[in-house]
Amino acid sequence: MFENLTAKLQEVFKRLSGKGRLSEQDVDTALREVRLALLEADVNFRVVKDFVSRVRERAVGADVMKSLSPAQMVIKIVNEELIATLGEPRKLVLSGPPPQVIMLAGLQGSGKTTSAAKLARLLRQSGQRPLLVAADTRRPAAITQLEVLGQQLDVAVYSEGDKVPPPRICANAVARARKGGYSVVLLDTGGRLHIDDEMMGELEEIVRQVSPSEILLVVDAMTGQDAVRAAEAFNQRVPLTGLVLTKIDGDARGGAALSIRAVTGVPIMYLGVGEKNDALEVYHPDRLASRILGMGDMLTLIERAEATFDQEQAQRMEQKLRTASLDLEDFLEQLQQIRQMGPLEQLFDMVPGLGSMKSQLADEMSEHKMRHAEAIIRSMTPEERRNPRIIGGSRKRRIARGSGTTVAEVNELLNQFRQMQRLIKQMSSGRGPAGLLGRLRL
Ligand SMILES: Nc1nc2c(ncn2[C@@H]2O[C@H](COP(=O)(O)OP(=O)(O)OP(=O)(O)O)[C@@H](O)[C@H]2O)c(=O)[nH]1
Ligand SMILES: [Mg+2]
């Protein structure tokens, strides 16, 4: 979906990266091109304007990090602002007493029925017992469509044919779910070609009858700004809690995906990425942004790491990690490398498996602590660095004095180092986070 936009943005970045220093004019020229690329991708013009001005403000005032070229710095800012524009993710809330009700609404053909089935599948995977409800009585084949999907997925489908009014069907379905021990009820409502009063009235009545905890609007991302307008109109009548953007796999220009959150204020929650039952992804703004920029999550990390790591040193490190013979000299080198790579938090985000350890790591590796660690290691003799076991009480006192720290801090560092060694041993024996080493290419 984002091919064109991605190609355009990459061209802009490529031109920037040819330059050693960026003047304000370079930034302006680049941003003009970014602006055009976004407008061509059918992004809402107000969203574009706001986006560009945020990037400009940050790019002009930015402290360029030592390890990043000015062009990389611009990419970094564009990426972060893109993520901000795409908006925070929100998880489905199903914490109330069962059954929890999720209503799916949307224009005709937007992908409600398909998404309801995909969502049922995801929910079942996470341990829920879903019940799909055929609440679209207008289109003759709609009920059969849902029943077929239910059969494929082995998920129960509740229907009462097409003579009972949908709000009634929904209320009955919830009662059935309660008796039958279903934990989640998914309402597949009927769509219309355009927003009309009858459809909205029906949705409002369903909301009144069964008070869904989630009201998800399913929007076809292929329809561009129409999708955004439709979402605004829906949101005025029923309180939407989230968006499902479908057909992200299509070849439309992507503007809807980029504008809809900013324009409507409703968070994107899922992305439909294909016709198959498993083609529903939980939305992650950072992943979507990197897809738009054409950079894999890891790509940025590797690029930055490669820029600062010299190849030879990297190979040496790799060898050491494999044989788990890392010493404090290497530890120091690592600390310096990491500091050159930019904000740590962001770095952690990019390494799969580190996410959960992030806050702990970030705390342990705050700039302040890193500076102390460096000072401590610098105060050691080469022999002590190679063989920390020889560091006893008097050596610790000497090191603490030399580095302007305390014995407790020296101890802490030595402990951390031992922990790291242990972790590395685990990883190199294949018990650690899968593939971490390979991905990091240390
Ligand atoms: N490529 C692709 N196709 C999708 C996606 N989601 C839905 N579709 C297709 O879009 C068409 C319409 O999907 P439905 O789920 O029937 O849409 P609906 O909103 O229920 O339509 P009505 O009930 O008629 O209002 C079907 O052919 C789906 O296979 C998606 O994420 N990617
Ligand atoms: Mg349908």
**pLDDT number for residue 117:** 97
Cβ-based neighbour number of residue 16 at 10 Å: 21
Q: What separation in Å is there between the alpha carbon of 120 and the centre of ligand 1?
A: 15
**pLDDT number for residue 439:** 38
CA atoms 427, 430, 436, 441: torsion sign:
positive
Q: Please choose from 113, 114, 202, 280 the residue to mutate so as to test ligand 1's pocket, defined by most ligand atoms within 8 A of CB.
A: 114
Q: CA 280, 84, 195, 277: dihedral to nearest 10 degrees? A: 0
Which numbered ligand comes closest to the C-alpha of 114? 1
Q: What separation in Å is there between the alpha carbon of 278 and the centre of ligand 2?
A: 17
Distance CA 171, CA 185 (A): 11
Q: What separation in Å is there between the alpha carbon of 227 and the centre of ligand 1?
A: 14
**pLDDT number for residue 288:** 84
Instruction: Give strand pairing partners of 156.
Output: 131
What residue type is 330 in one-letter code?
D
Question: DSSP of 390-430, one letter per residue?
Answer: G--HHHHHHHHHHHT--HHHHHHHHHHHHHHHHHHHHHHTT
Nearest CA to ligand 1 atom 26: 111
Q: Please choose from 189, 246, 271, 281 the residue to mutate so as to test ligand 1's pocket, defined by most ligand atoms within 8 A of CB.
A: 246
Give the residues surrounding ligand 1 with Cβ less than 6 Å away: 106, 108-114, 136, 139, 142, 191, 218, 246-247, 249-250, 272-275, 279
**pLDDT number for residue 297:** 45
**pLDDT number for residue 351:** 53
Upstream peptide bond of 99 is cis (omega within 30 degrees of 0): yes
Using DSSP's 3-state secondary structure scheme, residue 242 falls into: strand
Q: What separation in Å is there between the alpha carbon of 244 and the centre of ligand 2?
A: 14
Q: What separation in Å is there between the alpha carbon of 274 and the centre of ligand 1?
A: 9
Q: Please choose from 122, 136, 138, 275 the residue to mutate so as to test ligand 1's pocket, defined by most ligand atoms within 8 A of CB.
A: 275
**pLDDT number for residue 298:** 38
Ranges of the chain whose pLDDT falls below 50: 297-299, 302, 306, 431-442
Q: What separation in Å is there between the alpha carbon of 247 and the centre of ligand 1?
A: 8
